[in-house]
């Protein structure tokens, strides 16, 4: 676990209203860089590069395993770690963090992971608050 900050972006799937209105994705992803698209589907403005960019089809479990799992495991080993979602309204923060019963988000996956770690270390005492 490195001691630096990583900025990760997940492009959310279109919601029902956007699909009904036949809207298209307004972003193109290339090599962890996001490019905004104009109404004709062409790049508009500069690209924005992040540590990792996930497309709209990426499952939250994959994001968890790549990004959050190492933070949870490092926390159990005694390192400080923080995972938080930031973005504009309707950008998918709540869905990504909490998920659904069928597709759990980052928080329930972290809880499951934490208790799996605890179960696999019977000789160690844990306090979970």
Q: Which residues are annotated as a binding site for ATP?
A: 87-94
Q: CA 74, CA 83: separation in Å to the nearest integer?
A: 12
Binding positions: 87-94
């Amino acid at each position: 676990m490195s001691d630096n900050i990583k900025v990760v972006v997940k492009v959310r799937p279109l919601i029902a209203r956007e699909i009904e209105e036949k809207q298209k994705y307004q972003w193109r992803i290339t090599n962890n860089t996001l490019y905004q698209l104009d109404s004709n589907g062409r790049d508009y403005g500069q690209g924005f590069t992040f540590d990792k960019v996930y497309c709209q089809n990426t499952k939250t479990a994959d994001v968890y395993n790549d990004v959050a799992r190492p933070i949870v495991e490092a926390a159990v080993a005694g390192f400080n770690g923080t995972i938080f979602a930031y973005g504009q309204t309707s950008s998918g923060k709540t869905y990504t963090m909490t998920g659904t019963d069928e597709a759990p988000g980052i928080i329930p996956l972290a809880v499951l992971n934490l208790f799996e770690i605890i179960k696999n270390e019977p000789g160690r005492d844990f306090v979970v608050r």
